[in-house]
Chains A and B, each alone.
Chain A
């Protein structure tokens, strides 16, 4: 049985220490000195209207990202942001960005970091769930999958794959499962709560990493919306690439050699000339 890790679900109050730290073993995503960090947003509150998202860089007070009309069940792609601090504002669609917010706060981005900010639960109880999106790359030919329990109507949810791999056991609202390697390809998820049971189909490409958010549809059925956390080549070739025959190196070398030989020739000729001159002087003197 896989135990789920309870994470931050503090409603309506500051999440003072929501530090999400990427492990040093993190993948290539972190392998840059000055690359971006990543954040994405999920609207998972079943009775909250569509929202408009605005991200504002505190430095310079400039809007860096805007997306309108984000509806229930939408999981955005990652937004790459330069390291820095940004204000988040989600307001009801069509309202000005400084209108009373459905969700607002600040986010500090560091190179290589990644997180999902999700609004969950019914509108009256709306909570912000901050999810650390660190992961290890799936092994060759596999995919990687985890479950986030965001069904507001369910007290607990169990999720397993058609092959029997358990992804969530007795997960409560806001619980975040661990990533699990699963075979690539079409995958069926069995979703079970106290009073509902359903299945969901996902297609998992080799080398891809997904989060399956369990939510409710309008009839109270459990459904899944998914986010693509990352993708890699399905199989990485071994080593580098042989893409040269040496012509450019050859011509560079030949040009260099010709120049050097010319220089040597000039020096040798000068030396010879000097010696001959001296010889001729000697001959003249003798004559």
Chain B
């Protein structure tokens, strides 16, 4: 005949049960610890929204500068003895129709084709479609020409790291090479990085007039807002043309 252990051995302690095994006060303590732990995790998760990069730095305010020229002396040295025709203007701008085709950043292992980016109906820059593709904003200047040339790429998508996942590792002096569709190369070196809230995006600094050839690489940056599923910041790498 089948019998339970309880009935066959009444002296033996009943099946183990937390409520029976522990005094009430100790149950409360364990419960409190576990509750606190999960509350802690929840708080931690809601606060844990940043990527590996540093906190945003304030954008510097425009600063005025001067160029003083003093003690200029000019004398009748180097007379040609005849009136001359002006020399033809040096061709320094890229040839019409040439576009950037490839981006290489050796310091962070980037070597990818470049697409072209435009604006949507609201006037916002449309990011590249491919995760590993960077795109050149076609209403910025061709890289190497006087003015700002703007290239954007993804830091990640919902599952994987993107082409510009390591953009934050760049430091002043790092080299950036853009290959143009005619095979020529425009070279830049990194000046600085700007980590900025998208809400306070420095449009003038990125797209405004410059005296010489400039390049800006843009990607997303933390903190990540899981509520609206996007990064709150943009990381902008500023670089100047070489040669």
Contacts and interface: CB of A to CB of B under 8 A. Distances in A.
9 contacts: A28-B202, A71-B84, A104-B74, A128-B74, A137-B204, A232-B208, A240-B201, A264-B38, A264-B41
Interface of A: 10-16, 18-24, 26-33, 35, 37-39, 46-49, 51, 71-75, 77-78, 80, 83, 88, 91-92, 100-115, 117, 119, 123-124, 126-128, 130, 132, 135, 137-138, 207-209, 215-218, 220, 223, 225-226, 228-250, 252-253, 256-257, 260-261, 264, 267-268, 271-272, 275-276, 278-279, 283
Contact of A106 (B71, B146, B159, B203): B71
A231 B141 contact: yes
7 tightest Cβ-Cβ pairs between the two chains A and B: A73-B86, A231-B147, A244-B220, A249-B224, A112-B65, A105-B72, A240-B198
Contacts of B85: 72-73, 217-218
A27 B209 CA distance: 7
Nearest to B141: A231
A134 B109 CA distance: 39
Nearest to A115: B67
B74 A246 contact: no
Range for the number of chain B residues in contact with chain A: 35 or more
A141 B83 CA distance: 39
A252 B68 contact: no
A47 B84 contact: yes
A231 B209 contact: yes
A30 B160 contact: no
A48 B77 CA distance: 8
Given A230-B211, A241-B127, A14 B72 contact: yes
B124 to A, nearest CB: 5
Given A32-B60, A105-B71, A275-B26, A247 B51 contact: no
Contacts of B230: 242, 244, 246
A81 B210 CA distance: 14
Interface stretch (B27-35, B99-107, B180-188): B27-35
B199 to A, nearest CB: 8
Contact of B79 (A73, A123, A237): A123
B80 A49 contact: yes
Contacts of A46: 83-84
B146 A14 contact: no
A207 B208 CA distance: 8
Given A24-B64, A103-B72, 16 more contacts: A13-B73, A18-B69, A21-B66, A31-B59, A31-B60, A46-B83, A104-B72, A107-B69, A218-B85, A230-B147, A235-B119, A243-B220, A246-B231, A249-B223, A272-B30, A275-B22
Nearest to A261: B41
B115 to A, nearest CB: 13
Nearest to B147: A231
A14 B69 CA distance: 9
A132 B37 CA distance: 66
Contacts of A261: 41
Nearest to A248: B156
Nearest to A228: B146
A12 B74 contact: yes
B99 to A, nearest CB: 15
B191 interface: yes
A106 B64 contact: no
B78 A12 contact: no
B77 A102 contact: yes
Contacts of A247: 156-161
A37 B158 contact: no
B193 interface: no
B86 A112 contact: no
A47 B60 contact: no
B190 interface: no
B41 A238 contact: no
A87 to B, nearest CB: 9
A232 B34 contact: no
A107 B155 contact: no
Given A28-B204, A249-B50, A268 B34 contact: yes
Contact of B159 (A12, A245, A257): A245
